[in-house]
Every structure is written in structure tokens, then in C-alpha cells.
Amino acid sequence: MEKATKRKVNNKKGKEEKPIVECDDESDAWWWLVHKGITASFLSIALFSLLVRVAVSLHPYSGAGNPPKYGDFEAQRHWMEITLNLPLKEWYRNSTVNDLRYWGLDYPPLTAYQSYVHGLFLRFFSPDSVALFTSRGHESYLGKLLMRWTVLSSDVLVFFPAVFYFVVVYYAGRNPSHRMSGIAWHMAIILLNPCLILIDHGHFQYNCISLGLTVGAIAFLLSDKDLVACVLYSLALNHKQMSAYFAPAFFSHLLGKCLRRQYPLLQVLKLGLVVLGTFLIVWWPYVHSMEAFLGVLSRLAPFERGIFEDYVANFWCTTSVLVKWKRLFPTQTLKLLSFGATISSCLPSMIQQIWSPSKQGFLYGLLNSAFSFYLFSFQVHEKSILLPLLPASLLATEEPFLFTWMTLYALFSMFPLLHRDKLVLPYLSLSALFILLNHLSSGRRDTKDTSAFRSFVTRVFLLCSVILHVVYLSMHAPARYPFLFEALIMLLCFSQFVFLTLYTNAKQWMLLKHSNLVDKEKKLL
């Protein structure tokens, strides 16, 4: 290994300046980058991100003071109550002590185990907050404080380390001399994702766990540790079934890699056994009988709720303005239509990765796959936009305009939900913080990333969003159309999500052309 050398640079006045580190070997450069730059930057950004989360957690949450069912905060607390006080095999079963109509568990077993661990924490400090029956609607100051701390600790223990490892892998081997500001910005926009912070630490959920496991799986896959990636992604699926939004991308990329190895069937078998083994361990308490297994499985697919709820900016909800899907078709038909549309829309991305798997193509594939599910799958919630937003943030240095545009629209699409939760102040504050971070990064971008057209589109969006925000906050919708403003926000956001989906699919297929050019150049050499 060659050692890094130093050279001194003289300025115009002839004075000697500080030495510049020149690394002759990539591993030396990476050692310097990690041990002298990234770690300190990450810790500083992580501390600030944690403080922002704490500030948001001081505001109201979903269902605060709103009986009889309250909201997502009560759902998470109730799951801790159930898992602590009932035998494990009764957690998903309807009974006199576990009324599934009152926030019954509807996430995979790993969420139940997480609820049990967090419930132990709450019971140690505040037994009343998780007592069976009597704790329903519990909203004591200590109970709320402990609940907020469970989300903060989940972020610190799962999401933050996963982001750090992703950054280490993503920038491994790159020349560090002019990258530190860009790397720090990349870490900041992932950790300070306004949508994730508002949903987890405002509205109240634990998306940081499933998304953190997914980021870890992505990082291990990029570092060619496919078996570890399969374990982490399987855990993400077993924490929240919405992690299936990424399944086509993982499947197609890993299949494409296996087909290019010496023994493809053996490679597929190894990955399959790891996935099945992980699922078996997580589901072990429920595989003793088909009845218990199907009982849990039925809780994970709430088809009875209909193809959509509220005003989510996806295909089914947006087009329902003209086509009354719920009236025209039975649930079974809608399930088939939704499944067919979802698979059809993500199929081009899958074919590209099976045909020519690449690490950059995999990141685009994650975005395209998640977008397909968000736009066309069954029972999509406003919060589901967090899933396509995750790979967009991982690609932010490659696609800064795409990431900015998508984040602003993702925030806007959730505004009615956050307004109901009385989170307007943190919503506006985090939006301003995101715009500030994005503006500070503009100086390091290439001129092509700040073209007149893109600047114009961004300004038009900002103007439209400001107008709609003011209208939403200051005016009442007509009595005949009580959800008119929500529908306008939905239509605007849906149009942009469709455009972004077409753009990212085109960019993924353009990578195939680039790889063919590289192969031709190698042959000529």
C-alpha cells in the first residue's frame, strides 16, 4: 500500500499555506476520508438531526385527545399493552381481551416483537400506560414522553447506523479531495428527511426501523454482501409489509447477478434459503398450525378497507374523480386490477436489472419499484410516499433536482394529514430547513443541475404550493364539495409523481446504453 504524500502550495503573496493531502492509493484515500472526515461530520449531523426530532416530538400526534379510538399513537401503545399482557399466540387472535376492532395488530411479527420490547420499557417506568384495558387512551405526560423516546431510540439504533454504513459504501474509493462538502450534504438530507421526521416523530410511527433495515440491506448489497442484504431486507419485510414496495428491485437485481455467475441455480438456492430461514425464525411461533399462520396473514392484507382511503395522490384515488372504482367493481376485481397494474408498471425496471444488473441501476430500480406500488397497489396511504422517497434520497447527489422536486411534492401530498394532526408549525419549519439545505448545496452542483428550465419549474411549484397552503389554511371548501382542496392537492401531486416515474424509468434504461458503450471501449483497448 502506497502512503499518502503532502505537498505545500504557495499563494499569490508567496506565503506558505497548509499542506494538501494527496493520496496515491484509493484505499489510503478512503482511510483518510473515513477516519478524518466522515465520522466527525456524521456525528455532528446526527446530533443536529436528533435535536430536530426532539423538537418535532414536542408537538401533538395522531389522535391526540380524540376518543374513542384516538389515532396511530394509541395504536402503537395498544400493541405494547397487548403483547405484554397476552400470550404470544393470542396477539393476532380476536377474543374478549383482544378486540381486533380496536387497533388490532395488522403488521408482521417483527413489529409485534418490537412492541413487546418497547412495552417492557414503558412498564418499567410507567406501568399504568400499558395496563390491560385500563390504559386505553392513556395520555399522561410521562407516558407520552416514554413513547416518544422509543421512536428516538429506534432511529438512533437502526436508521442512523444504516445511513452511516451506506455513505461509507457509496463513497468508497472515490477521490476525497473535493467531496467532503457533498458527502456531508448527502448525509444531512437523508438524516433530516422532513417527511420521515414528521411522520415518525410528529404523527407517530416507527418507519425508521423498516426503512433503516432496508438502507442496511441496500448498503450490504452495494458492497457485494448479498446474503447479509437478504437477511436485513427479510427483516424489513417482517417489520412492515409495505417494504414489499422494494421487492421487485431486490429480486430482479439479485437474479440478474446470479445468472452471471458460474453456478446460477446454486446462487439462487443460497439466497432463497437465507430468505426462507429468516422468515421461519421470525414466524416460528405461528407456523405450528395452518390456522395460526393464516390468522396472522389475514391481518396483513386489509382488503375490506377498499382500494384507497382518504385523498392519497395515487392512480386509483385520483381517477376516482371520474371513475367510481368502488361502486363499479367488487373488491376481488379491484385486487386483480391493482395487482396487474402494479406488476406491469414495474416490469420494465425489473427486466433492465435482470438483463444488465448494476449498482446504480439497482438504486433507480428501487425508486421505480416503490413508485409503481405507490401509484397502483391496493390500499395505499399518504405515508407510503416515504418508500419511493428513500431511494430518491440515496440518489440525491446523482439526481439533486429529482430529489428536491420529489421531496417538496411528497411533503405537499401529506399536508392535509399533518394539518389534521395539528403539525402545521413543524411542517413549515422542516420545509424551510429542507429548502435552506437545498439552497446551500446549489453552489457545489454543476451548472447543468441549475438550468433555467429547472429553476422556472421549481419556482412555479413553490408559487402554486404557497397559494394552495394559504387557501387551505384560510378558507373553507364549498359545502357541496367539502374535500375540494384535498382533491386539488392530490391532483397536483399525482401529476408530478407520474412524471417522475416516467423520468426515472427512462434514466434506468439509459444506464444500459452507457454500460454498452463502456463495454465497447474496453474491447477496443
- What does the pLDDT look like over 353-376, one tens digit per residue? 999 999 999 999 999 999 999 999
In a domain, 423, yes or no: yes
Q: What are phi and psi of 422, to 5 degrees?
A: 60, 45
Whole-number Å distance between alpha carbons of 259 and 277? 22
Q: What's the mean pLDDT when you consider all of the chain?
A: 87
Q: Is the pLDDT of residue 31 over 50?
A: no
What was the pLDDT predicted at 461?
73
Q: Residue ranges of the alpha helices (H) in 34-176?
A: 39-57, 72-85, 109-125, 141-154, 160-170
pLDDT surpasses 50 at 252: yes
Please work out, in degrees rounded to the nearest 5, the angle formed at the alpha carbon of residue 277 by the alpha carbons of 276 and 280.
Answer: 85
| 8 Å CB contact between 42 and 24 | no
pLDDT given at position 446: 47
Structural domain span for residue 290:
33-64+139-170+179-297+309-442+467-515
Number of domains in the chain: 1
- Percentage of residues in the chain with pLDDT exceeding 90? 71
pLDDT band at 136 (very low <50, low <70, confident <90, very high): very high
Q: Identify residue 261 by its one-letter amino acid code.
A: R
Asked if residue 72 is part of any domain, the answer here is no
The model's confidence at residue 174, banded by pLDDT at 50, 70 and 90, is low
If you average pLDDT over residues 12-16, what whole number do you get? 45
Q: Is residue 318 situated within a structural domain? A: yes
Q: Are 63 and 74 in contact (CB under 8 A)?
A: yes
Summarize the confidence of residues 226-231 as an average pLDDT. Answer: 97
Q: What are phi and psi of 479, to 5 degrees?
A: -60, -30
CA distance 384 to 501: 15
For residue 318, give the amino acid letter: T
Confidence (pLDDT) at 393:
96
Nearest one of 380, 390, 426 to 198, comparing CA atoms: 426
Task: Decide if 112 is inside a domain.
Answer: no
Q: Does residue 95 fall inside a structural domain?
A: no
Position with higher pLDDT, 148 vs 306:
148
**DSSP reduced 3-state for 396:** coil
Q: Which three cell numbers stand for residue 59?
A: 408537538
What's the pTM value of the predicted model, to 2 decimals? 0.89
The pLDDT tens digits for 298-330 are 899 878 788 888 889 999 999 998 899 989 999
What single DSSP character describes residue 107? Answer: S
Amino acid of residue 476? H
Confidence of residue 172 (pLDDT cuts 50, 70, 90): confident
* Predicted confidence band of residue 17 (pLDDT cuts 50, 70, 90): very low
In a domain, residue 245? The reply is yes
Place of cell 393470542: 90
**In-domain check, residue 400:** yes
In a domain, residue 104? The reply is no
Whether residue 253 contacts residue 351, with contact meaning beta carbons closer than 8 Å, is answered with no
pLDDT in tens, 75-116: 999 999 999 999 999 999 999 999 999 999 999 999 999 999
Q: Is the pLDDT of residue 442 over 80?
A: no
Given a cut of 70, whether residue 483 has pLDDT beyond it is: yes
Identify which of 378, 373, 380, 343 has the alpha carbon closest to the alpha carbon of residue 245.
373
